[in-house]
Structure 1
Amino acid sequence: MFNTVRDRMSRAADGYAPHEHRPLDGYVTAMGAFGGLAVALAVAARATGRPVPERPSLKDVALVSMATHKLSRLLAKDAVTSPLRAPFAEYSGPAGAGELNEEVRDSGSSVRHGFGELITCPFCLAVWVATGLTGGLVLAPRLTRLGATVLTATAVSDFLQFAYDAAKKSTEG
């Protein structure tokens, strides 16, 4: 069924970007995988009988927001996580503060290319990370809050490091 939907969407997209390759099949595959993640989280919540909050607390929204920012950047840009991206991207230069710029590999596979675009883009990854963390708040709230606290503290520390560096430079003239 999934291949039929993907084939129909691919045929419908013919002529979408005639002068530029756009990995639409890869995007459809990524959307399907994201839908699968969302369904799996919903099924797990129902199977475990975990209550889904009617409205998340403002504290949890703030915590997950900061943790999403940090984890998305960590996965998409951090030098240490580059081995995870290496099959889909190639190094193109430093981006400053331990981050890298990378280009998606031209592999000939639109699915691989689409995944490469996803895994090298912190903005693109953010919805996946936020979904996972939000699902974690339902399925394993204590553990998720603990992990999100570590990520949030690291993000705040990053901003403080930049502020310290800027203050230091401004006093040195």
Structure 2
Amino acid sequence: MALADIGSPVRRWAKAQERAYNNGEDRPLGGFLGAMSVYSTVVATGAAVVRASGKQLPERIPLGDAVLITIGTFRLARRIAKDPVTSPLRAPFATFNGASGEAELSEDVRVHGGWKHAVGELVTCPFCLAQWVGTAFVFGYVAAPNATRLAALVMTTAAGSDVLQFAYDAIQSKATGGGEDDSGSDG
């Protein structure tokens, strides 16, 4: 069987699973399978590049670095999925619904079914993006730990600033009996 012929049975299998699984809902199992394939390929390629470069994997990650990367992953995934400034990245796959919180947008998947639906769900979901962003941070940490710490620090300070903005607004609201939103809308 030629390599090009392998895709056809996989697509037929994915379509059959979609019909059996979806229960009337539009769930793009084939698109999700494609996304998992892309992710697996990226991870395998990254691992091969690390191995070929001769870089040694760290035996352990210091707790401070793990926390920095974790908070950086949270903030960057949320920035990509919800921030008004990054909406052009999501626009081909999502439609704007309005604000969903302080400097965050609510969006729906634009195309239902297929790979565009799967990508739409991925780019509008900070929980889904965290896997991809975290993987990038980890590979970055192995390849260039100082640069990765710096990038994670930027996102971590942004997350800390977000917490302080919410705390300030809560204190201000309690003190004045109302709330004033001067956080802006461009995150």
TM-score range relative to shorter protein:
over 0.9
Secondary structure at the residue paired with 1:55? coil
Alignment correspondent of 2:169: 165
RMSD: 1.5
Counterpart-to-counterpart distance in 2, 1:117 and 1:132: 19
What code does the residue aligned with 1:159 have?
V
Counterpart-to-counterpart distance in 1, 2:103 and 2:11: 38
Alignment correspondent of 1:77: 82
Counterpart-to-counterpart distance in 2, 1:105 and 1:13: 19
Secondary structure at the residue paired with 1:37? helix
Counterpart-to-counterpart distance in 2, 1:140 and 1:103: 36
Deviation at 1:54, TM superposition (A): 2.3
Alignment correspondent of 1:105: 110
Q: Does 1:148 align with 2:152?
A: yes
Correspondence for 1:136 among 137, 140, 144: 140
What code does the residue aligned with 1:139 have?
A
Deviation at 1:158, TM superposition (A): 0.6
Deviation at 1:5, TM superposition (A): 3.6
Deviation at 1:13, TM superposition (A): 4.2
What code does the residue aligned with 2:155 have?
L
Structure 2 unaligned residues grouped into runs of 5+: 178-187
Alignment correspondent of 2:130: 126
Deviation at 1:121, TM superposition (A): 0.3
Q: Does 1:50 align with 2:55?
A: yes
Contact 2:26–2:113 under 8 Å retained in 1:
no
Q: Structure 2 vs 1, CA of residues 95 and 13 (structure 1 numbering), >3 Å: closer, same or farther?
A: closer
Structure 1 stretches of 4+ moved >6 Å: none
Q: Structure 2 vs 1, CA of residues 172 and 131 (structure 1 numbering), >3 Å: closer, same or farther?
A: same
Alignment correspondent of 1:38: 43
Normalising to structure 1: TM-score of the pair?
0.93
Q: Structure 2 vs 1, CA of residues 31 and 6 (structure 1 numbering), >3 Å: closer, same or farther?
A: farther
Deviation at 1:9, TM superposition (A): 3.6
Correspondence for 2:32 among 27, 30, 52: 27
Correspondence for 1:11 among 16, 25, 30: 16
Counterpart-to-counterpart distance in 2, 1:6 and 1:141: 40
Contact 1:27–1:111 under 8 Å retained in 2:
yes
Counting aligned pairs with the same residue, the percent is 45
Q: Deviations over 1:7-26 (max 9, x none)?
A: 43433443111311111111
What is the number of equivalent residue pairs in this alignment?
172
Contact 1:6–1:29 under 8 Å retained in 2:
no
Alignment correspondent of 2:185: none
Structure 1 unaligned residues grouped into runs of 5+: none
